[in-house]
Amino acid sequence: MRELARAAREAGNALQQRSTEDRRAALERLAQALLDRSDEILASNALDLAAADDLAPALRARLSLSQAKLDTLADGIRSIAASDEPLGREVARRQLATGLELTQVTSPIGVLLVIFESRPDVLPQVAALAVKSGNGLLLKGGSEARHSNRCLHAVVTEALELGPVVGLVETRGEIAELLALDDVLDLVIPRGGNALVRHIQENTRIPVLGHADGVCHVYVDASADLEMAIRIVLDAKTDHPSACNAMETLLVHCDVDPEPLVQALTRAGVTVDRAPADWHLEYGALACAVRVVDSLEDAVDHIHAHGSGHTESIVTDDEEAAVRFLSSVDSACVFHNASTRFADGYRFGLGAEVGISTSRIHARGPVGVEGLLTTRWLLRGHGDTVGPFTRGEREYTWVEA
Amino acid sequence: MRELARAAREAGNALQQRSTEDRRAALERLAQALLDRSDEILASNALDLAAADDLAPALRARLSLSQAKLDTLADGIRSIAASDEPLGREVARRQLATGLELTQVTSPIGVLLVIFESRPDVLPQVAALAVKSGNGLLLKGGSEARHSNRCLHAVVTEALELGPVVGLVETRGEIAELLALDDVLDLVIPRGGNALVRHIQENTRIPVLGHADGVCHVYVDASADLEMAIRIVLDAKTDHPSACNAMETLLVHCDVDPEPLVQALTRAGVTVDRAPADWHLEYGALACAVRVVDSLEDAVDHIHAHGSGHTESIVTDDEEAAVRFLSSVDSACVFHNASTRFADGYRFGLGAEVGISTSRIHARGPVGVEGLLTTRWLLRGHGDTVGPFTRGEREYTWVEA
């Protein structure tokens, strides 16, 4: 496993030396290969589906590939190919002293380990993001998708023509080994349910990008437009109940009658829980908790005590209340008069989404290619040494440019 | 300990609600209190010095406070007070659709745990950085500085008038407890030697900002100006041999005679090791390793194999070689014709330095107040829901503003 990780790092190092045009062309080849070799890919996928008779319908739908899914995937990879070069971008530039120029430039993180459940379409998508961002990549897919993943991995590797930039691992034992390699792997991205994310967070020292829970709140303030509140609450809960950005708890100010909100939810098939045993619960289904609070401050305290720091929204016509909520809620996403469902990389306009992070370190909230980058500080001088500055013979200018 | 951490988080939450002017005034009061109460502070420090008879001279110098040190400290805190407001700064702004405005704004990380060895002046300095960045703070100082730290902690808390925003812990047992609280502490910053940093990295799941090793390289290329190379190498090794950004290994291209470089080092009192047992060694003294390499690529390979990702410098008059080195060396700082000793927050113009990070996640290289910040995404709408977008009734505009 260490050799695999080292190979991915070396391939990543070689990758970031490639020109923008080289990497763009590799991604175009990958998009085309997914279309050209779709028969082969769908045949592999059929083997997985045949072996997965007892899979729940939702999981089966995720495992299943189709020509339409491959078309969408190819489109997505073409748009990653066409997007701006993320590497080598100047984040800061400062003249430290005459002739001594400092720049801070974006760089790849190094080697990513992406662990995903039975959704084989994640494989080429993440491979494309890694190539775009110049990172080496190790992938571990669900065992239900073994045939699909092997086929897609071959298609990706052959189409990219970039060497072992994408490594595929298949067993849980291999993952356990990889999670111990914090000296050669730089970031783990688990894409899957709470249990997967939590397991990984608890079993590695490598930084983990993502979130275990999405316990999102909508707070209906005293000055809310009730019709708007119903619209937002329904969208936040029912648009996609199992999504991480769906509402799990509705907080209602005591001056607002909660019944119209509860009735609207009930009519939409939502089970409303007025006294849950645990306020930190991700229902992930057509169900939610409701609590009446005495004030905006109590709503914020509830969110800080029971939330997951993902996404919260206030519905209010009171601008001052909105400002207080937006400035005091310590979550990745804080909204005013908008559904929590907008917390999403695509909707935020970030292009391809890597995931949503509730970490306070590195990327936070919906994460695009930016979250796969770090920076390096480059300094160009003419034989400069610190001695003359220490002795007062030269002075720092620190001119921003 | 959990209660202490929670109190720091709550104090931090309250802190970030304070106006820029409130926090600036609190820092001004702190600077003034360090001067007004210097007798008391120096008396506490004398108790620590009296109890530390057997301390090595270098450690004793670090432990020792003086009126001059307090003056410098007060100046530093005044300059933190006067610096731009780091919180609530817009990092990005995008209109997602008509009337739906997204901004990404800087925010405090949450609660910081700063662990420092016997340098009591770190306490007020870090407290000032925490107040500026709106973070709650727990501090653990060396036991040798117990009296000084208690006195400074009282001065800080009384002068700031901001509640329990700075907590002080004193024993190793308390630190072990705190390092387990990854749900209430957000970032650990160890300020001290390798052993301290490594111990902390190996004993917590909380992200650690900093670096264990500083194995920095200077590579003298075939096209180097030899006089410039000698000047840079001497500065990089001898200006402050125990600093993390001092040169540990000199790499010399095989077309360059290494003898003038070795002789200059030797004359400056540096022990030159031509065949070290371990190329990943931080001498931290007037000693270094020297290796002749066949090419720039071999130098880069040596750095990637044996370095610590801190700071490397190439000396060359060949612009093309410089570009290759700057683009291919994967370290936090990569320099051309400049001493590695410039890798420093003050010299980089970052204002107060939190430390130097060799992590690829979050802040990298010299870290200023920026490294103590995260961002939140704020979205302001007018009752917007995702349903109409999904049904094709509305379209995303994604207009950057």
Residue in B347, B361, B379 nearest the CB of A96: B347
Q: For residue A298, what are the contacts with CB-CB under 8 A and spacing of at least 6?
A: none
Residue B272: beta bridge partners?
B288
Looking at residue B314, what DSSP letter applies?
E
> Is residue A368 a contact partner of residue A344, using CB atoms and an 8 Å limit?
no
pTM: 0.92
- Closest by Cα among B401, B111, B15, B104 to A334: B104
Residues 6+ apart with CB under 8 A from A195: none
State whether A225 and B384 contact (CB < 8 Å). no
- pLDDT, one tens digit per residue, over B80-98 is 999 999 999 999 999 999 9
Place of tokens 């001059």: B68
* CATH superfamily to which B216-342 belongs: Aldehyde Dehydrogenase; Chain A, domain 2 (3.40.309.10)
The alpha-carbon gap from B249 to the nearest alpha carbon of chain A, in Å, equals 17
How much is the pLDDT for B183?
85
Least confident of A32-46, A309-323, B158-172: B158-172
Q: Which chain B residues have a beta carbon less than 8 Å from that of A17?
A: 327-328
Phi, then psi, of A360 in degrees rounded to 5: -95, -5
Q: Considering chain A, what percentage of its residues have pLDDT values greater than 70?
A: 100
- The CA–CA distances, whole Å, from B271 to B241, B249, B268, B288 equal 12, 12, 9, 6
- Which chain B residues contact residue A342 at CB under 8 A? 96, 100, 379, 381, 384, 386
Q: Which residues of A touch B331 (CB under 8 A)?
A: 376
Residue pairs spanning A and B at CB distance below 8 A: 223
Max Cα–Cα distance, chain B, nearest Å: 78
Do the chains contact at A348 and B96, CB–CB below 8 Å?
yes
Instruction: Give Cβ neighbours of residue A39 (< 8 Å, ≥ 6 apart).
Output: none
What is d(CA A268, CA B369) in angstroms, rounded to the nearest whole number? Answer: 48
Q: Are B270 and B237 in contact (CB under 8 A)?
A: yes
Chain B positions touching A107 (Cβ under 8 A) are 330
Mean pLDDT of A370-382: 96
Beta bridge partners of B45: none
Q: Does the distance separating the beta carbons of B186 and A96 come in below 8 Å?
A: no
Chain A CB contacts of B100 under 8 Å are 338, 342
Using one digit for the tens of pLDDT, what is the confidence trace for B210-260? 888 899 999 999 999 999 999 999 999 999 998 999 999 999 999 999 999
Q: Find the CB nearest A328 among B17, B365, B384.
A: B17
B384 neighbourhood in chain A, CB within 8 Å: 232, 337-339, 342
Choose among A207, A231, A386: nearest Cβ to B361: A207
Burial class from Cβ neighbours inside 10 Å (0-12, 13-18, 19+) for residue B57 reads exposed
CA distances from A247 to A244, A290, A309, B22 (A): 8, 11, 13, 36
Whether the predicted interface score ipTM is above 0.95: no
Among candidate residues A104, A359, A370, A69, the one with its CA nearest the CA of residue A210: A359
The helix/strand/coil state of B274 is: coil
Q: Tell me which of 3.40.605.10, 3.50.50.60, 3.40.50.300, 2.40.40.20 is the CATH number of domain B2-209+354-376.
A: 3.40.605.10
Q: What is the pLDDT of residue A69?
A: 93
Class of domain A2-86+108-209+354-376: alpha beta
A352 has a pLDDT exceeding 80: no
Q: How do residues A125-145 score in pLDDT, each as one tens digit? A: 999 999 999 999 999 998 899
Instruction: Give the residue from A217, A243, A226 showing the smallest Cα distance to A347.
Output: A243
pLDDT digits (tens, 9 = 90+) for A59-69: 888 899 999 99
- Please answer yes or no on whether B207 and A384 come within 8 Å at the CB atom: no
Q: Do A398 and B366 touch (CB under 8 A)?
A: no
A215-230 average pLDDT score: 98
Contact call for A334 and B378, based on CB within 8 A: yes
Instruction: Identify any residues that bridge with B379 across adjacent strands, giving them in sequence order.
Output: A335, B102
Q: What is the pLDDT of residues A166-199, one digit of tens each?
A: 999 988 888 899 999 988 899 999 988 888 888 8
CB of B212 within 8 A of CB of A212?
no
First vs last C-alpha separation in chain B? 45
Query: For B203, which DSSP code?
Result: T
Contact flag A330-B13 (C-beta cutoff 8 Å): yes
The total of other beta-carbon atoms located within 10 Å of residue A297's CB is 12
Show me where the domains of chain B are located.
2-209+354-376, 216-342
- Spatial CA neighbour of B220 closest among B234, B199, B206: B234
Give chain B positions within 8 Å (CB) of A202. Answer: 205
Q: What local confidence, expressed as pLDDT, does residue A68 receive?
A: 95
Provide the residue type at B275 as one letter.
A
Q: Quick one: pLDDT at residue A172?
A: 83
Res B174: pLDDT: 87
Residues A41-60 have a mean pLDDT of 91
Q: What average pLDDT score do residues A153-170 get?
A: 92
List, in sequence order, every residue forming a beta bridge with A187; answer none if it has no partner: A112
- Mean pLDDT, consecutive 10-residue segments, chain B of 401 residues? 87 89 96 98 97 86 94 92 94 96 96 90 93 94 93 96 90 89 92 86 88 93 98 97 95 98 98 96 95 98 96 98 96 98 93 87 92 96 97 94 76
**Pairwise CB contact (< 8 Å): B349 & A398:** yes
- Across the interface, whether the CB atoms of A239 and B389 are under 8 A apart is answered no
Query: Does the beta-carbon distance from B386 to A347 stay under 8 Å?
Result: yes
